[in-house]
Amino acid sequence: MSLLLSICIPTYNRADFLKRTLYYLLEQIDFEITEIIISDNASSDNTEEVIKEYTEHYPCIKYNRNEKNIGLDDNAIKCIKLASGEYVWFCSDDDLPLFGTFKEIQSAISSYSPKFIFLNFGCFLDNEKPDNFYKHPYKPAYDKKNIVYYDGEKMLRDLEPTHFSALIFKRELALKYIPVVEDYGKQNFQETRIVYALTHHLILTNKGPFIFIGRLCLAVRYILAHQCRYKILNAYIIDFARHYQILRKKGLINKRTESLLVNRNIKKLPKIILSLKCREDFNFDTELIKSIIKTYKRYPLFFIFIYPFFLLPILVLPRKALIVPYRIGYKIYHNFLRTDY
């Protein structure tokens, strides 16, 4: 029987998280049609020993260890090249595919033979037990209904598919767009460019079907900006805008789509900058602010509304004047974030 799905896990120094992710995967996959590709980016912890324990009992797990850390994107590309399934599913080493997710994916493939699948997800905090996710989940990122798209630009406007562990591609198409990811690297895009460079070019230059699975499929480990291994703000605030500008120049999206997607990022800026300043985050510096202004200066929403009324006061006011209302607002927000389903 040919392999249907290759689950690709690039990993680095997260042995404990990886064990948890593998548990959630191995409890639900069909071993006859699935393989798990783990590419270790020269971890210095006990990742290699942990994986060897699994490979002895699970032949479906294939392990690769890089001689040196080649970065997330190149490691993810390596996973695709090592895979042999008809489809590849990126899976972060610290996210949890909830039970029943594999069957949802299998059903979508069987019903539609899609070129791309995007999974719904919610978040959990580091100090939570993952099992509690089922009892008190965070709100899913999207409405809980399946959608079939044939227009990639509409899917981009509706969902903006980007989360690493939520992406599943036909492998032959994923290979086709590797040069695009590499080109973004030459333009100094941050890590995780494979998430949007590959995904968005694929859905914008091919006809569907592209499937969104609305069932809650992933419990995503929530990480604060200062805990990330890369400059998350550059990646998700500055690089996303640059990315949409590139898509517009290539004629892959129209002006309306570009404005819609970039304006979403603009609306996030005050909360992010306030959070960084009040947390004294290492990402908060004058260079970041200059980059934000340079990136967004062409968009009216930024200079007419966001910058003068929200960003400028945050930048000018001393941290002492902001910290108390920020902490109060933070507690209120997170106390009301949870919901039941």
Full pLDDT tens readout for the chain, 341 residues: 689 999 999 999 999 999 999 999 999 999 999 999 999 999 999 999 999 999 999 999 999 999 999 999 999 999 999 999 999 999 999 999 999 999 999 999 999 999 999 999 988 766 556 555 555 556 788 888 999 999 999 999 999 999 999 999 999 999 999 999 999 999 989 877 889 999 999 999 999 999 999 999 998 887 654 455 556 677 778 899 999 999 999 999 999 999 999 999 999 888 888 887 887 665 667 787 888 899 999 999 999 999 999 888 988 888 889 888 888 877 776 665 444 33
- CA separation, residue 258 to residues 82, 241, 292 (Å): 35, 8, 17
Contact 37, 82 (CB under 8 A): yes
Structure tokens at 263: 């304006």
Contact 266, 296 (CB under 8 A): yes
Domain residue ranges of the chain, discontinuous segments joined by +: 5-223, 233-335
Single pTM value for the model: 0.91
CA distance 212 to 15: 30
CA distance 183 to 180: 5
pLDDT at 223: 62
Contact 249, 243 (CB under 8 A): no
Domain 5-223 matching CATH 3.40.50.1010: the answer reads no
pLDDT at 101: 96
- CA separation, residue 213 to residues 166, 190, 275 (Å): 10, 28, 32
Contact 9, 39 (CB under 8 A): yes
pLDDT at 49: 94
CA distance 95 to 165: 7
CA distance 162 to 71: 18
Strand partners, 117: 168, 211
Structure tokens at 144: 């809980």
Pairing of strands 5-11, 87-90: parallel
CA distance 79 to 296: 35
Report residue 39 CA to chain centroid gap.
18
Contact 283, 225 (CB under 8 A): yes
pLDDT at 226: 44
Structure tokens at 19: 């064990």
One-character DSSP codes across 191-231: TTHIIIIIHHHHHHSS---EEEEEEEEEEEEP--GGG-SS-
Closest to 65 (Cα-Cα) out of 42, 87, 49, 83:
42
Cis peptide before 209 (omega within 30 of 0): yes
Q: What proportions of the chain, in percent to the nearest 5, are helix, strand and coil? A: 50, 15, 30
